[in-house]
Structure formats: structure tokens, C-alpha cells
Amino acid sequence: MRIVVAGGTGQVGRMVVEELQRRAQAVVVASPSTGVDATTGKGLDAALEYADAVVDATNTPDLSGAAARRFFEDSTSHLLDAEARAGVRHHIVLSIVGADRVTDDGYFAAKGAQEDLVKAGSTGFSIVRATQFYDFARRIAEWNTKEDTVHLPSKHVQPIAASDVAGALAELALGHPLNDAFDFAGPERMALPEFVRRVLRRDHDPRYVVDDDATAPVGFNISGDLLLPREPMRVAATTLESWVHDQGRRALVGAR
């Protein structure tokens, strides 16, 4: 098969490319650095020629609502139009848990708008709504640190390894369109402070992480139930503990 990975140089996109190559598939990496810009349509027709499927793992560096909506609407519209011209049969998109349940103008709503475009398009589709990635805990800590303390409410999350998400996207690209969406989460539900605390502990980060239900955390100013998966859902295999252990092993190997 010939599979195009839009955003193929990003965190998840790179993993999808590696997994598909490991499975001996023909992969086209589509990103501005390879001359393909989905937000303008530049290079898409050439990249999608003879493609069987497109994995959209693109993301915007600007998480504000208006900018994110413009990015996802422009890039998705250009991708879908180019897919129709090329006869692509399957569009797989990485979304986020809760995107279909938010009506404000934030990042979640922008992803929801992206999903709506995909559902309304002529290409068969599969939508994966992932929970928060394990390594996102570091950014959460960065956003919510005051002096030497990270303040977070005790709302629950069910985070996931980015590698598991990439594997699911690659697997879908090799199959038939679901023409549906599903939530995809890690195997463990935990309080947000505990999630961040465990990752910082692996990093030997000296900051304190405290439960503070009075705080309005940056990046998580949404209802707690929107952070959790619901049916239809699938559960990944990698636990936070095994991910933390693997991170430590990689750090040791890199230090040699």
C-alpha cells in the first residue's frame, strides 16, 4: 500500500511513519519540511498521487481557539479535496477525547470542527480520539508551576503512550474505513496530580505537585468528564509504569 502521513515529521507522525515502514509499506512523509503544506494545499496533489490512505497527524503550535480552528479547517479541507482528486479511499485522523462534546471556541472545539469536516467529506474515514499522552505531563507541570510547586485539581485522566496511538493509526491505515470514531485511552485511570507527579519523579524533578481543587489549571479549564474516554472506546496496553521505565532505559542508553 501507499500511505501518506500528513504531519509525518511531528511527534506522532514520525512514529506512524516508522511503524508503516517496519511493515514494509510505501510511505510518503507530508510536511512543510518535505515541500507539502496542507494549510495552503501546496504539494498535496503530487504527494497523494496513487495513495491508498492518508493519516492526518498534523497539529498547530498555536492552541488558541481561533487560530487552531483556522489551521484544522484549512488543512483538513485541502487534504479532503486532494484526496477526492486522487481517489484516496481512507482518511485517518488523530483527534482528542472530548472534541465531540465541546461547544466553545477553544482547541477542543477546533478539533471537533475538524472531525465534522472529515465526516461530511466523500472519503471513507476513521477517527481516533486519544487521551492525553504520557509525556504531556511535563507540559502540564510547566504551565501550572508557581515557584517550586505545581497546583492541579484532582480531576481524573486516563493517559496513553504516544507510541500506542501511532500503532493504532498505522493499523487503521492498513484496513478498511470505519466511517466512525472511537476514544482511545491508556489502561489506567488516575488523578491528574498523581499522573504529573509520577512523570516528574522519573525525571528527578524536585518540584512539588499538590492537589488543589480551588485552582483553574492552564490547559485543563474544561469539565473533568471531558478528559475521560467513553464508549465506543479502545484501551491501549502500555501502562504509565512501563512507559516511565522505558524512558529511564532510553536515558541511560543515550548517556553512554
Task: Tell me what percent of the residues of the chain surpass a pLDDT of 90.
Answer: 77
Cell of 68: 487552531
Helix and strand numbers (H, E) in the chain are 8, 12
Q: How many domains does the chain have?
A: 1
Range of the domain at 149: 2-255
Provide the 3-class DSSP secondary structure of residue 69. Answer: helix
Does 77 score more than 90 pLDDT?
A: yes
Q: Any idea what the CATH number is for the domain that residue 159 is in?
A: 3.40.50.720
Residue 253 half-sphere exposure toward CB, CA atoms < 13 A: 6
Which has the closest alpha carbon to 163: 195, 183, 134, 141? 134
State residue 82's pLDDT score. Answer: 97
pTM of the model: 0.92
Contact 114, 76 (CB under 8 A): yes
- Nearest-angstrom CA–CA distance, 164 and 10: 15
Residue 33 half-sphere exposure toward CB, CA atoms < 13 A: 7
pLDDT in tens, 209-227: 999 988 877 766 565 677 8
